[in-house]
């Protein structure tokens, strides 16, 4: 599986700009071939903008040409030119370029529609927005509500695919635990076995000694 920064967005670009097979695109992007077919059909990654892997240095034109000429060819990821440069850890709040700030409401709408399990603090931290903005988008009281359209935050350039996947995975795990705990609390005590219930419903009969004929007639003797 290739280590692609934005696999779905890359798959969108390859489908739109090359004649590669679904299998080749799936293998290069690390996706399932049915997921790639869904992208081609418009059922997956709707409204997602494609990302050019060539300009991003992840793939070369020569590799694409070889793969287009041979459906069995396996494309190789281009060697990174900056892999040896250590990346500094980000400190403090996320900075978003002015040109990208208008995309935040679209990203919030995408979370609300596709991943309601992600909490507002998670969304706020991931894309660098405020809780009030999230609330306004959810309640449709945002000043630009009529123009807001759900857009993948990765495609909008507000975070990386790795960061998005990590947030979604954490939210999904926490949601499963909450659902399991809630189910356990609502189940309550179990029902008693049917045999036990039947025995409880039957009245107890007092064991009395049997009377003989002599005992009965003796009561009438003087």
pLDDT tens per residue, range 5-57: 788 889 999 999 999 999 999 999 988 989 899 888 888 877 788 889 988 88
Burial class of residue 167, CB neighbours in 10 A (0-12, 13-18, 19+): buried
pLDDT digit string, tens, across residues 94-113: 555 544 557 899 999 999 99
Do 56 and 117 belong together in one domain?
Answer: no
Considering the domain boundaries, does residue 104 fall inside one? yes
Do 117 and 39 belong together in one domain?
Answer: no
Q: What is the pLDDT of residue 1?
A: 44
What's this model's pTM, rounded to 2 decimal places?
0.42
pLDDT digit string, tens, across residues 56-97: 888 899 999 999 999 999 998 887 654 444 545 555 555 555
Domains: count for the chain: 2
Residue 171 has pLDDT above 90, yes or no: no
Considering the domain boundaries, does residue 90 fall inside one? no
Question: Could you identify the residue written with the tokens 């399991």?
Answer: 180
Do 51 and 105 belong together in one domain?
Answer: no
Considering the domain boundaries, does residue 32 fall inside one? yes
Task: Give CA–CA dist 4/6, Å, rounded.
Answer: 6
> HSE-up of 106 (CA within 13 Å, CB side)?
18
Structure tokens, 208: 């009395």
Domain that holds residue 123: 98-185
Q: What is the pLDDT of residue 139?
A: 92
């Amino acid at each position: 599986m290739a280590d692609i920064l934005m696999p779905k967005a890359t798959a969108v670009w390859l489908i739109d700009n090359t004649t590669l097979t679904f299998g080749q695109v799936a293998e290069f992007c690390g996706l399932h071939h049915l997921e790639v077919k869904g992208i081609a059909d418009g059922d997956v990654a709707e409204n997602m903008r494609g990302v050019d892997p060539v300009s991003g240095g992840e793939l070369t034109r020569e590799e694409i040409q070889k793969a287009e000429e041979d459906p069995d060819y396996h494309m190789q990821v281009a060697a990174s030119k900056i892999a040896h440069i250590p990346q500094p850890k980000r400190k403090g709040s996320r900075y978003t370029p002015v040109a990208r700030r208008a995309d935040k409401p679209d990203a919030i709408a995408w979370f609300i529609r596709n991943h309601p399990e992600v909490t507002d603090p998670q969304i706020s931290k991931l894309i660098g927005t405020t809780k009030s903005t999230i609330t306004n988008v959810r309640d449709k009281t945002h000043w630009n509500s009529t123009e807001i359209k759900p857009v993948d935050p990765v495609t909008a350039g507000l975070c990386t695919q790795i960061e998005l996947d990590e947030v979604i995975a954490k939210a999904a795990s926490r949601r499963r635990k909450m659902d399991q705990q809630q189910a356990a609390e609502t189940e309550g005590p179990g029902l008693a076995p049917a045999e036990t219930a039947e025995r409880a419903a039957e009245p107890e009969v007092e064991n009395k000694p049997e009377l003989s004929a002599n005992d009965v007639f003796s009561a009438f003797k003087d």
